[in-house]
Amino acid sequence: MDTIFCKDLLLQLIINSYLSPKAFKTAYLSRQHETPWNPGIGRVFGINVTIPSYMLSRALNISSPSEGLMNAQVFPNAQVLKETLNDTAILRCKINVNTPLKNVIWEKLITSKTNNYDNSDTNNSNNDDKKALQSEFWEPIIYDDRRFLGTNNNNNGKGPKASNNSSSGDDLDRFSLTIRSLRKSDNGTYVCRGFSEKSNETFSRLDLFVIEPAKLDILAIEPINPRSVNISWLLRSNGNTQVHRIYLEVRNITESGDSEWVEIDGNIAPNRTGSYTVFRLIPAYSYEFRLAAFNDAGQSDWVTANVTMPPDVPSPVTQLHVLSRTNETIWIGWRKPPEDNGADIIEYILELSDAEDRLLYNKSFQINRETGGSGSRLMFMFVGLVPATNYTVRVRACSSLGCGKWSDPKFQVSTLDGIAEAPENVVLRCYYDFQRSSNRVNITWDPPSRSRGTIVGYNVSLEGHSSYRNSENQMEMDNFKKIYPIESNETSLSLDVKPNTNYTVRLCTLNKAGCGELSVITKSTMCYSLPTVPSSIPGAGSLLSLADPDDPFCRQLKLKIPRISERNGHIKCFKIVIIKLPKNTETNLVLPPTPSNVNITSYSYVHSPAFDSLQSNDSSVVGAYIADELSADNLPDEIIIGDGEHSTCEDGRIPRRIDPGYIMTTPSDIHNNRNNLVNTVNPSNSIHINIHTDNPSNDNNLNFSNNGNLNYGPHYSTISLTSLDKLIADGPLDSSTNYTGFIEVRVLGPNNVYITKQSDYFDPITTGTFDPRIGSLSPLSPIFASLSDSAAAILFGIVCGLALVLFSVLSVICFLRTKVDDSLSDTGDDERLGLTALLRRTVVGTKNGHIISNGVIGSINGHKWIGQPIPIQNLPNVFIERHANSDLLFQAEFEALPENFADRTSIDSNLPENVAKNRYPDIKCYDQTRVKLTPIDNQPGSDYINANFVEGYKGRKVYICAQGPIERTITDFWRMIYEQKVSVIVMLTGIEEHGKIKCSQYWSDSGCKEIDKLYTVTLTSCTKYSDFIIRRFILTKCDESADEEEVPRDVLQFHFLLWKDFLAPEQPSWLLRFIKRVNEHYCPDKGPLLVHCSAGVGRTGTFIAIDSLIPEITCGTSINIYECVSQLRYQRNFLVQSFKQYIFVYRALMEFAQFGDTEIEICHLKDHYRQLKEQKFEGNINGVMAEFDVSNHCSIPLTLETLSIIVYKLLAKISLKLRHYLYPFAFKVSHAIVV
């Protein structure tokens, strides 16, 4: 091979053209300028490079002498040929020559590594320089059956021969290189060289790219979580062409390996290294993934990888349904999740929330491993729900790996309507409607606080009860009940009702569940319809006749008395009115239209000569008088008019109610009002009755006037008469005179007043003629007849009556004082009563000595102040207000406290085996709250003790209210203490009071007391204070059969000494200090607080009420004593039993609100006084003066009552005898005294 010498620049060009870029860079930077080298041999880094001459000419752009006469051209002109693997590639070459072509050859650029080092080069000792370098050189193509010249192999593998006749128009196929079954090794740069006869050379390069499918390798497949996996791969070869996309498929091979492939993504970006995350796979399933790359050569081979997903929590429950529901239960079912995600479901968690998303239930439903939790058994029932309420239910499945997601969306379900509570504030009012002329009731109510469903209406049940005497003089009961459905949301109803009937109303609320609970019967739900007069008095016309029709001289009349039904009201009296008619006058012309307009005078005036003279002069004048009054209780069948005998049913204490048209006037009034009267007369000493109602009241309904008299409206008016007995007289009738009359019945109405009804006129009867056998009347007869009307006789009778009454009263007082003194000593009631209270107590029979009339009580109960909260700062003023008028308002509030409850029963207390366990027969315990002992060998009554659980006001503390044990219940008493884990006992009674046993001593003051071989009670300490005692007991259970020894229990007893039965402590501070001591030792987690007195209601209830309300004062702004006591009574009957105890609750709370806890230990008194002295307040006063100023500004003034009680107590300490002298002047003080 020809070589030439070249300089460094030439070597640079050669290396740049033929060596690789890396080799060239190394050679250029490390060239040795001083080293000589021979032509044709280049010395670079100790490497001998042989350079063909044609390379040098090409690299140096050296043209042969025939340049321009010969050139080579390859096709395609882009000098790049791309063919697919295993296909055939044809490299076309065209030689353009002007001289004969000697030869054409094809060569391929070969790249190889060389390790030729120049060991003599000692200047280059760096090991890095000894690395192998790449070199490139052209290698002729060796022709064979796969690679040959031409388009078909006709020259047996030999190159074509160039002919002298070759020209530029030679066929391209002649010098083309054909390569069959292309291989990857065929990639490279090819050159077509042409040689002329003159040794001229031309060449042209062509790059051949053998395109093949790309090659992929999966590097890793790793689960990210139980439902997603990440696949990473390497694009190992792109197949000499651009990769367009990568295709990913997956199939489930959990159960079988021949499942269908599913495309995941067919257009993944073809990065050299890539990854892809697949989501939504099923935990614990096995998957096979495969990848393929797509380029111009098509799809590569699939590469596969398998993965098994880790298990996961179960899938969400998707199917919930309601199996059944009631008003308080919901029964739901659900299906097992479609996938358990590789772990067995062991339980289901269920949550129930209300409409406000408050969690009510969180339940666990365990799976039965035997059944596997099949779908038919997946059900659960929620109980104790609120009727007609919307709830949300959600379920999730749990496995050993955890719990899955909640079922979504939330499942909504509602309970059915339940039994609605009774309507509230039910009020029944009876009244008389004068527009309708009938008795009516008005019923009002409020919807229930818990309707337990949609209210569709109400059922109003009105019951009536009336006992009366019928027309046959037999007692008859009229009991009836009627239900009035209200099909709307109306809350009032007015009805016409019968008179003289006791009515009771009860309501229930209607919803989809039907009629709910009936309202409770209270004072407000009962009323009495006003009595009225009979509707008519039948057969009045034929009632009057001659006493002896066969006697022509008969001047007596016989009147049949009809028996009238008293259904409309009790008839108090029958009044017989006789009317003397003028002679020879038609009856209908002289009588008023109705009997109510008849003027009533007296018998003496009607049969006086003056009246006869007046009647003879004026034929329109009639004379009417009251001949008789008959009591309905002893009503005869008939009476005789004119026999001189009469009776009266007036008792002198009931004011008389007169019909419209009746008025009592003097003769001068008759003349002055002549135009208003039917008849006018001017007799001496006569009384005329006529009431006019021309201007009726605007109020057509029944109402009370300020003075307490009942006003019936325009049809009736009332006047008070000193006495009407003087008007009642019967005597001989005039002969040959027409008489008529009528019967008037009087019904005792409300407020002890009369209402009347008149019959029709009797048919006129003419008396017999004058009997000549009877002489004229004595001249003194008129005087004796009028003697009963004498003012002197009236005055004398009044004086005598008053004297008799006064004497009787004084006698009764003396007797009662002795009796009450004895009763006080017997009962232990140490209260002091004044004269008024003493009389009230004796007459009425109430222990507190206060009387409130029905009208006043009804008025008070109608006020809204009862049961309303009281601001704490107003408590003293409220106490003063209710304390006024002998505790009038306190009395009303106390009597309004509930005593009975419809939903409370005492069945167990009345059982024969339990009756003897009650200390008092009227103090029983409610079944609903009673303390139940553990039964002993199924003995009847062995679980009974007279004690109730009582929850304090607003549930702050739990008490046990018990009676003081009797001898036979001491064992039960200690059983209760042991079983209920009681640690503190509060005892508020003495063992004996006033000679009576109030409580059996259930402990021993010396040593140990054995309780029926069940328990031992040992007194370990006893600390006595001025007003209470603290005892400490050790309670041990004697149980030999127990496996473990019972731990003795420590029980504290606080025994208060200054409280008598039915009364209250004299000073509230005593009890407040006692309550403080109890609370210092009581802990709620050591069982309920046991409180007992004798009966377990009076003193016990007072203690609990005060203890419950003290936190209200400390933490709140108002208190409600009435509501607190009412709630306590709902749990045990008669708590806060007496009126004095109820007032004492106010006193104690008022003192605590004003002064708080003022107790100071003696050891700290000096320090406390010093601190007060050092404190400074406005006005330059210290703490002592400020505290004294607070005492001076106490809201309870120091009244005469307060001073009198202080003086009384001081004198009582000096001499007990002074009690008898000061007794009448002792006043009851119901408020705190701060001295």
- pLDDT tens digits along 41-67: 333 333 334 344 444 444 433 334 334
Q: What mean pLDDT is predicted for residues 284-299? A: 89
**CA-to-CA separations, 124 to 37, 117, 127, 1005, in angstroms, rounded:** 17, 10, 8, 121
When pLDDT is cut at 50, 70 and 90, the band that residue 719 belongs to is very low
Rounded to 5°, angle at Cα 1158 from 1156 and 1159: 130
Q: Note the pLDDT tens digit of each residue in 1183-1219.
A: 777 777 666 555 554 444 444 444 444 444 443 333 3
Rounded to 5°, angle at Cα 224 from 221 and 229: 45
Q: What mean pLDDT is predicted for residues 437-455? A: 90
56-60, 839-843, 1016-1020 — most confident range: 1016-1020
Nearest to 928 by CA among 1132, 1129, 1228, 1092: 1132
At 310, which amino acid appears? P
Q: How far apart are CA 721 and CA 846, in angstroms?
A: 34
**Intrachain domains 63-208 and 897-1154 with the same fold:** no
Cis peptide before 409 (omega within 30 of 0): yes
Q: What mean pLDDT is predicted for residues 1140-1151? A: 93
Q: How far apart are CA 849 and CA 842, in angstroms?
A: 8
Choose which CATH entry (1.10.3720.10, 2.60.40.10, 1.25.40.10, 3.40.50.150) describes domain 63-208: 2.60.40.10
Is residue 884 predicted with pLDDT exceeding 60? Answer: yes
Nearest to 185 by CA among 162, 209, 220, 216: 209
**CA-to-CA separations, 299 to 34, 163, 213, 962, 1094, in angstroms, rounded:** 57, 47, 6, 96, 104
When pLDDT is cut at 50, 70 and 90, the band that residue 964 belongs to is very high
Choose which CATH entry (3.40.50.1370, 3.90.190.10, 2.40.30.30, 3.30.365.10) describes domain 897-1154: 3.90.190.10
Q: Note the pLDDT tens digit of each residue in 622-665.
A: 889 999 988 887 888 899 999 888 888 764 333 333 333 333 33
**CA-to-CA separations, 1092 to 241, 948, 1069, in angstroms, rounded:** 104, 11, 20
When pLDDT is cut at 50, 70 and 90, the band that residue 572 belongs to is confident
Q: What mean pLDDT is predicted for residues 813-827? A: 54
Is residue 583 predicted with pLDDT exceeding 80? Answer: no
Nearest to 350 by CA among 337, 365, 335: 365
When pLDDT is cut at 50, 70 and 90, the band that residue 13 belongs to is very low
When pLDDT is cut at 50, 70 and 90, the band that residue 1124 belongs to is very high
Token pair for 605: 């005036």
Q: Does domain 320-414 have CATH number 2.60.40.10?
A: yes
Lowest-confidence range among 77-86, 452-461, 745-754, 938-947?
A: 77-86
Per domain, the residue ranges of the chain are 63-208, 215-308, 320-414, 424-528, 540-771, 793-827, 897-1154, 1168-1225
Q: Under a CB-based contact definition with an 8 Å cutoff, are residues 888 and 850 in contact?
A: yes
Rounded to 5°, angle at Cα 227 from 312 and 309: 70
When pLDDT is cut at 50, 70 and 90, the band that residue 417 belongs to is confident
Instruction: Please state the separation of Cα 1180 from the chain's center in Å.
Output: 54
Q: What's the number of CA atoms in the CB half-sphere (13 Å) around residue 818?
A: 5
State residue 660 phi and psi, 5-degree precision.
-60, 135
Is residue 1015 predicted with pLDDT exceeding 60? Answer: yes
Residue 577 β-bridge partners: 626, 742
Q: Note the pLDDT tens digit of each residue in 221-239.
A: 999 998 899 999 998 888 8
Burial zone of 755 (CB within 10 Å; 0-12 exposed, 13-18 middle, 19+ buried): buried
Q: What percent of the chain has pLDDT over 70?
A: 72
Q: Under a CB-based contact definition with an 8 Å cutoff, are residues 1135 and 1101 in contact?
A: yes
When pLDDT is cut at 50, 70 and 90, the band that residue 1231 belongs to is very low
Burial zone of 747 (CB within 10 Å; 0-12 exposed, 13-18 middle, 19+ buried): buried
pLDDT of amino acid 697: 37
The whole model's pTM is what? 0.40
Handedness of CA 162, 163, 169, 174 (dihedral sign): negative
When pLDDT is cut at 50, 70 and 90, the band that residue 998 belongs to is very high
Residues 215-308, CATH architecture = Sandwich (2.60)
Residue 1091, SS3 per DSSP: strand
May I ask the CATH class of domain 424-528? mainly beta
Nearest to 813 by CA among 839, 785, 852, 777: 839
Q: How far apart are CA 162 and CA 197, in angstroms?
A: 10
